[in-house]
Chain A
Amino acid sequence: MTETTAPIDAATAPTSGRSERLPTRIYLYVSLILVTALVIIPLVMTALGGFKTLGELRGNPFGLPTEWQWSNYGNILFSQRYWLQMGNSLLIAALTVFLTLAFSAMAAFTFAHVKFFGSGFLLNYFLIGLMFPAATAILPLFIRIRDLGLLDTYWGVVLPQVAFGLGMSILLFRNFFRNLPSELFDAAFVDGAGYLRFFWSITLPLSRPIIATVGIISFVGSWNSYILPLIMLNSESKYPWPLGIMVYRGEFSTDWQLILAFITLTILPTVVVFFAAQKHIIAGLTAGAVK
């Protein structure tokens, strides 16, 4: 599972081959539209539900709102908590991405280029991280973070997140680095470059695709993460949005119209960014899979 495969290119439509016959096309479209309905109805109804009153949620579950309750959304958008939570998530994700990229690119570079005693062992050591989720060690992790005085700080979330992402990131970076033509390394070496120079002037500028991939994986992971912040953060002012949703739901327990509006607004950035950069995101998120 160490060879790299071409990234999954989901945005390219099949072009070769004959067009399908009419019966086939009808069958395809009917099936696909049915599945699409199952996929997006919960999402659309969530967004629409946020415009309804609680009574209408019950009386008119599937129709458009008779009277659009803009205030459900407005109140959230004008509330501090929404923006604070988004900001917290963004900050945690940014720190996570930056540290993951820096640490894993550097470590992967040594594994890809420098021969040193124990390099094979060390690489496998990092790959242990691929085998189990952070949840397995969550209690000792909590105690460690507490003893380091990082409880209820962003770092208490960021550092374990980075650490658990290192295995995959190092593997992806290393495979990419090794697939750069080795003659480039020879040429740079003949030109008088040392490792540091080669890393900075040749490797990194050529690594944009893999930087994007690893960046996307770690950003999405951090943006959506729940269990680490749940355990490491206590103050609501530091909560990222997935925790925020849970708190919000706890507060407004059956006021579903408000909860739906809140959910819609919290996933909106994800949906917008996904459609804006779908090609990169799909390639990135599946790159880890095809390792």
Chain B
Amino acid sequence: MSQTSSVAASPPSMRAPSVARRNRKRQVRGTLPVLVLFLPPALLLFTVFVILPMGEAAWYSFYNWNGYGLPTQWIGTKNYELIFNNAAFRQALINNGLIIIVSILVQIPLALWLATMVTHKIKGAVLFRLLFFLPYVLADVAAGMIWRFVYDGQFGLVAGIFNTLGMEAPFWLADKQAAMPALLGVIVWKYFGFHMMLFVAGLQSIDKSVLEAADIDGATGWQKFFRVTLPLLGSTVRLSVFFGVVGSLQLFDMIMPLTGGGPSNATQTMVTFLYSFGVMRMQVGFGSAVGVVLFIICVTLAFGYKRIFMKND
């Protein structure tokens, strides 16, 4: 404290009791009513419908249970063993991984490429953005149904193309080899617009004068993109990857109208697997165990990803 203090500080022994007496929170009228009225609705709902079910999933996962009465048949970790020995689940894991890979290697570059184009000063740029974003707004179920039609080997557009070329039309969605690639195509169609919009935002937030400085420094278009723009978009790329991963882990709605996970489980994801093997057969214990595995993957990825890649964002 200041050496020029002209006021002597009172000895600590005299100050202590009054500190204890007065050291209290700032008084605002309505603190109690706010705590009592504002927090409980959200807290109650969240606990009952999010936290407790997740805890119960962990509990049920150790039982063989059909959902009626109380879970009594404790089977230890049997459900988990069954899951990992299940070929369909392994396929689901592979498919989820595949979706993530396509999202990173195809969807994000595509989105970035389009984002750089629709941020050019050209007529219609705004309209292009809207059209590209449109599939993202549609319900997954509707998108899946539309593409079921597109891929239909009898009445669909793909059939139309093949017939026009004088070839026999394939039934991709019924083909074990072709179904997953077909599905990946729909995923890119549905979600690239969202990622593009993230990049549009990222590009708009780049200071124009930085790019102008690069121009003055004599950078060509490509050099400007790879040496200036892309490094500045780092956080957007990471965000985009994050959403690709999260989206993959949740994918369900779109698959149901397209393939329902078939043919022979070729297009299962973890959630469709949970639905087909847990919900449809009312295997609560088994389905819960799948949920727990999915939960652990989600949480690990969320934390890991945040820690490793997003710590500076």
- Which of A136, A166, A193 is within 8 Å of B54, CB to CB? A136
A98 to B53 Cα, complex, angstroms = 23
Interface code B95-136, partner A: CB below 8 Å = 1, 0 otherwise? 000000000000000000010011111101110111111111
Decide: B200 and A249 in contact? CB cutoff 8 A: no
A290 to B126 Cα, complex, angstroms = 21
A62 to B132 Cα, complex, angstroms = 22
- Which of B38, B52, B201 is within 8 Å of A110, CB to CB? B38
Interfacial chain A residues near B54, Cβ < 8 Å: 132, 136-137, 140
Interfacial chain A residues near B114, Cβ < 8 Å: 32, 35
- Evaluate whether A106 and B39 lie within 8 angstroms (CB atoms) in the complex, with A8-B200, A131-B298 already known: yes
A83 is an interface residue with CB less than 8 A from chain B: no
B82 is an interface residue with CB less than 8 A from chain A: no
Q: Which of A23-31, A64-72, A73-81, A207-215 contacts B (4 or more CB under 8 A)?
A: A23-31
- Which of B57, B145, B313 is within 8 Å of A249, CB to CB? B145
Decide: B49 and A107 in contact? CB cutoff 8 A: no
A187 is an interface residue with CB less than 8 A from chain B: no
Interfacial chain A residues near B210, Cβ < 8 Å: none
A39 to B139 Cα, complex, angstroms = 15
Interface code A216-240, partner B: CB below 8 Å = 1, 0 otherwise? 0000100111110001000000000
Chain A residues within CB distance 8 Å of chain B? 1, 5-6, 8-20, 24-25, 28-29, 31-32, 35-36, 38-43, 45-46, 49, 54, 57-58, 61-62, 99, 102-104, 106-107, 109-110, 114-116, 122, 125-126, 128-133, 135-144, 159-160, 162-164, 166-167, 170, 189, 193-197, 199, 220, 223-227, 231, 241-242, 245-246, 249, 254, 256, 259-260, 263, 266-267, 270-271, 274-275, 278, 281-282, 285-286, 289-290
Most-contacted residue by chain B among A20, A109, A166 (CB, 10 A): A166
- Which of B46, B121, B130, B146 is within 8 Å of A166, CB to CB? B46
Decide: B53 and A275 in contact? CB cutoff 8 A: no
- Which of A10, A19, A136 is within 8 Å of B294, CB to CB? A136
- Evaluate whether A278 and B38 lie within 8 angstroms (CB atoms) in the complex, with A129-B46, A144-B49, A227-B253 already known: no
- Evaluate whether A14 and B125 lie within 8 angstroms (CB atoms) in the complex, with A58-B155, A129-B50, A144-B52 already known: yes
Q: How many interface residues does B have (CB within 8 Å)?
A: 103
Decide: B141 and A195 in contact? CB cutoff 8 A: no
Interfacial chain A residues near B168, Cβ < 8 Å: none
